[in-house]
């Protein structure tokens, strides 16, 4: 009898633990959760959906064409939770529950994960990561276009050209193709600068910053100067973004009455125009959306567009009568570059996802993600999958989490339907750290849903650790690919492998080329994900196996105990 009581106590304890980690559904959430459709209540719906997806995967061809064009879309700070939350917001804006929605690039045939750490840091910044995914080499935080033997802030250590690394844009230019960059940040910011700059400090965007660091401006020219006067930037056919201030002297104000920041007296916008005139090529400088769109019927050979003194405005806060969308910028860039019969490389960055996360502005971060998806959708419409490789990824993650046990269709921007142990609401999207910290009162969190401004675009989600700016995250980021050799981008790999994979597909750069491999008779077959099957006899044990084994052992010991008594 005593043994049976002991057994019942153990079982009760196990049940208590299960409830602790997996709380029972409250009465108001019993039954069909949220706003699920009637079809989703039936197993037949999910089986049919899975079979349709399987058929689609089996029908996908292993595209082994040469990539004439390569476009890299970079969602700065676009972590996996950002993808999931943006997807939900997309669906909810369309009147659906949201979770089942899909962004354009999420339907690409191949996806993988990249590891974003840098040589001297567990968590990447946008400079060392840009050097990895654009130049194929991991480096230290803050460095652009140079290897890890260079010391940050040390101009002298970066002068040796043997320490410089080429970007995939340089490989494309060397092959006779064209190249360009599009971003919603300053064009001299870390991510776009990774396409062209060689510098020991990502912050040296203008000459004043180099001088402030007591470095030799002649030995280490600033990033804006490099873009206008150095290779490869001075060869780019299209440059679209923000950051006019780094191209203008302090004595000059721009079209929106903002002063420049250069102390050398140089007007780099005028110098860009003078350079193109000296070459005898057609060119155009634009600063607003009207001027940009007027070009569609008469595109120049070279185009420079700087639409803000600083970064472009967040899409939801921008004056769309003067400021272009990322979709519009991308379309113009593609039309500019696609005139080259040999093809092109284009880098497109949705850069303000990152800035919104740094300020704990989840709504804006998700909207910027969806704006980049619109640009990707337009690229897909304009270019053929047969000869255009499109790769979508992020440079690093952020520390926003997507949490709670909310009902299906709960507003992704609202509080979870659960509360904390003090019955205080918490947000479905919250941050580990950042400026959104609220002091606790009497050991309890404040109810953020009662704050003035709750739910507005500038309202900051709550955080655990107070910081002036939220940090990046060290987790892996997703990679999506469509077009020639998309199947190479499956699996988990180092971030610096990405440009090598793109170059292989396009037959550019110093490494292996698909064209050369196709000319041999011993070409190993690539392993596209659609052709890979797992043998039942060699499948990895499931994560549930240890739990099942433990329960079986527990049952055996219990039986033996009863028999012995």
CA dihedral 130, 135, 139, 143 (to 10 degrees): -60
Position 79 in a domain: yes
Position 291 in a domain: yes
The span from the CA of 42 to the CA of 496, in Å, is: 45
Q: Which residues fall within 8 angstroms of residue 51, CB to CB, at 6 or more apart?
A: none
Average pLDDT, the chain: 90
Residues in the annotated binding site = 76, 189, 191, 349, 354, 358, 395-396, 472
What is the pLDDT at residue 21? 57
Q: Using pLDDT thresholds of 50, 70 and 90, give the confidence band for residue 10.
A: very low
* Percentage with pLDDT > 90 across the chain: 82
What is the pLDDT at residue 34? 61
pLDDT tens for residues 94-111? 999 999 999 999 999 999
What is the pLDDT at residue 142? 99
The span from the CA of 233 to the CA of 461, in Å, is: 39
The span from the CA of 216 to the CA of 213, in Å, is: 9
Residues in the annotated binding site for Zn(2+) = 76, 349, 354, 358, 395-396, 472
Structure tokens at 487: 């199947």
The span from the CA of 398 to the CA of 467, in Å, is: 14
Question: From residue 488, how far is each of 62, 102, 274, 506 by CA, in Å?
Answer: 10, 23, 43, 13
Residue 427 reports pLDDT greater than 80: yes
Question: From residue 514, how far is each of 170, 255, 410, 501 by CA, in Å?
Answer: 19, 47, 47, 10
Give the active site residues: 126
Position 420 in a domain: no
Give the number of domains in the chain: 1
Chain mean position to CA 36: 30
Closest CA to 153 of 162, 165, 161, 144: 144
Q: Using pLDDT thresholds of 50, 70 and 90, give the confidence band for residue 20.
A: low
Cβ atoms of 217 and 264 within 8 Å: the answer is yes
Report the CATH number at residue 246.
3.40.720.10
Q: What is the mean pLDDT of residues 41-68?
A: 92
Position 197 in a domain: yes
Position 334 in a domain: yes
Residue 396 reports pLDDT greater than 90: yes
pLDDT tens for residues 116-143? 999 999 999 999 999 999 999 999 999 9
The span from the CA of 493 to the CA of 447, in Å, is: 42
* Percentage with pLDDT > 70 across the chain: 86
Cβ atoms of 296 and 305 within 8 Å: the answer is no
Residue 58 reports pLDDT greater than 60: yes
The span from the CA of 379 to the CA of 73, in Å, is: 10
pTM of this prediction?
A: 0.88
Q: What is the mean pLDDT of residues 434-451?
A: 95
**Continuous segment of H or E residues that includes residue 544:** none
User: Angle formed by the axes of helices 545-564 and 2-21, to 10°?
Assistant: 160
Least confident range from 196-205, 425-434, 517-526: namely: 517-526
The span from the CA of 241 to the CA of 347, in Å, is: 12
For residue 479, give the DSSP letter: E
Cβ atoms of 402 and 357 within 8 Å: the answer is no
Position 394 in a domain: yes
The span from the CA of 126 to the CA of 183, in Å, is: 14
Closest CA to 110 of 524, 479, 534: 479
557-560: long-range pairs with CB below 8 Å, 24+: 558/7, 558/10
pLDDT tens for residues 72-86? 999 999 999 999 999
Position 406 in a domain: no
**11-21 burial code (b ≥16 CB/10 A, e <16):** eeeeeeeeeee
SS (H, E, C) 68-80: CEEEEEEECCCCH
What is the pLDDT at residue 468? 98
What is the pLDDT at residue 238? 99
The span from the CA of 98 to the CA of 411, in Å, is: 9
Chain mean position to CA 176: 29
Which ranges of 62-147 does DSSP label H, i.e. alpha helix?
80-93, 126-135
The span from the CA of 124 to the CA of 77, in Å, is: 10
Structure-token match 């400026």, residue found: 435
Boundaries of domain holding 507 = 69-399+471-518
Position 99 in a domain: yes
For 547, half-sphere exposure in the C-beta direction (CA atoms, 13 angstrom radius) is 4
Residues in the annotated binding site for Mg(2+) = 76, 189, 191
Most distant CA pair in the chain: distance in Å? 100
446-454: long-range pairs with CB below 8 Å, 24+: 448/415, 449/415, 449/425
Q: Using pLDDT thresholds of 50, 70 and 90, give the confidence band for residue 30.
A: very low
């Amino acid at each position: 009898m005593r043994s049976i009581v002991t057994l019942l106590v153990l079982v009760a304890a196990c049940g208590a633990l299960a409830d602790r980690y997996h709380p029972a559904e409250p009465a108001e959430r019993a039954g069909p959760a949220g706003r699920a459709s009637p079809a989703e209540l039936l197993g037949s719906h999910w089986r049919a959906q899975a079979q349709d997806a399987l058929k689609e995967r089996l029908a996908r061809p292993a595209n082994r064409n040469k990539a004439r064009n390569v476009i890299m879309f970079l969602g700065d700070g676009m972590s996996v939770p950002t993808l999931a939350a943006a997807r939900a917001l997309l669906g909810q804006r369309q009147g659906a529950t949201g979770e089942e929605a899909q962004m354009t690039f999420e339907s690409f045939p191949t996806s993988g994960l990249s590891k974003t750490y840098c040589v001297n840091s567990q968590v990447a910044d946008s400079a060392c990561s840009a050097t990895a995914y654009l130049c194929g080499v991991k480096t230290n935080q803050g460095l652009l276009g140079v290897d890890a033997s260079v010391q940050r802030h040390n101009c002298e250590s970066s002068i040796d050209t043997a320490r410089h690394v080429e970007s995939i844009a340089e490989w494309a230019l060397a092959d006779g193709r064209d190249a360009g960059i599009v971003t919603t940040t300053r064009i001299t910011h870390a991510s776009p600068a990774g396409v062209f700059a060689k510098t020991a400090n990502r912050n040296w965007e203008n000459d004043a910053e180099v001088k402030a660091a007591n470095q030799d401006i002649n030995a280490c020219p600033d990033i804006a100067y490099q873009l206008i006067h150095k290779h490869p930037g001075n060869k780019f056919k299209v440059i679209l973004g923000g950051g006019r201030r780094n191209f203008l002297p302090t004595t000059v104000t721009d079209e929106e009455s903002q002063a420049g920041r250069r102390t050398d007296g140089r007007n780099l916008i005028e110098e860009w125009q003078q350079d193109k005139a000296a070459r005898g090529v057609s060119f155009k400088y634009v600063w607003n959306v009207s001027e940009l769109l007027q070009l569609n019927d008469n595109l120049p050979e070279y185009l420079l567009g700087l639409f803000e003194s600083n970064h472009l405005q967040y899409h939801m806060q921008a004056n769309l009568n003067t400021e272009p969308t990322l979709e519009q910028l991308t379309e113009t860039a593609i039309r500019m570059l696609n005139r080259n019969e040999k093809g092109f490389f284009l880098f497109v960055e949705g850069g303000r996802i990152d800035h919104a996360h740094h300020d704990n502005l989840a709504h804006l971060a998700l909207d910027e993600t969806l704006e980049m998806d619109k640009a990707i959708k337009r690229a897909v419409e304009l270019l053929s999958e047969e000869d255009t490789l499109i790769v979508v990824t992020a440079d690093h993650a952020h520390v926003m989490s997507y949490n709670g046990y909310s009902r299906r269709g709960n507003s992704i921007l609202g509080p979870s339907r659960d509360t904390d142990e003090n019955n205080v609401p918490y947000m479905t999207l919250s941050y580990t750290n950042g400026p959104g910290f609220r002091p606790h009162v009497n050991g309890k969190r404040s109810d953020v849903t009662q704050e003035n401004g709750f739910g507005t675009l500038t309202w900051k989600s709550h955080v655990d650790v107070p910081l002036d700016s939220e940090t990046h995250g060290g987790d892996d980021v997703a990679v999506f690919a469509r077009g020639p050799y998309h199947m190479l981008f499956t699996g988990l790999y180092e971030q610096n492998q990405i440009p090598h994979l793109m170059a292989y597909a396009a037959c550019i750069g110093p490494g292996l080329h698909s064209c050369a491999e196709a000319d041999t008779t011993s070409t190993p077959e690539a392993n596209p994900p659609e052709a890979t099957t797992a043998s039942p006899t060699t499948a990895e044990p499931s994560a549930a196996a240890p739990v099942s084994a433990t329960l079986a052992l527990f049952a055996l010991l219990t039986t033996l105990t009863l028999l012995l008594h």
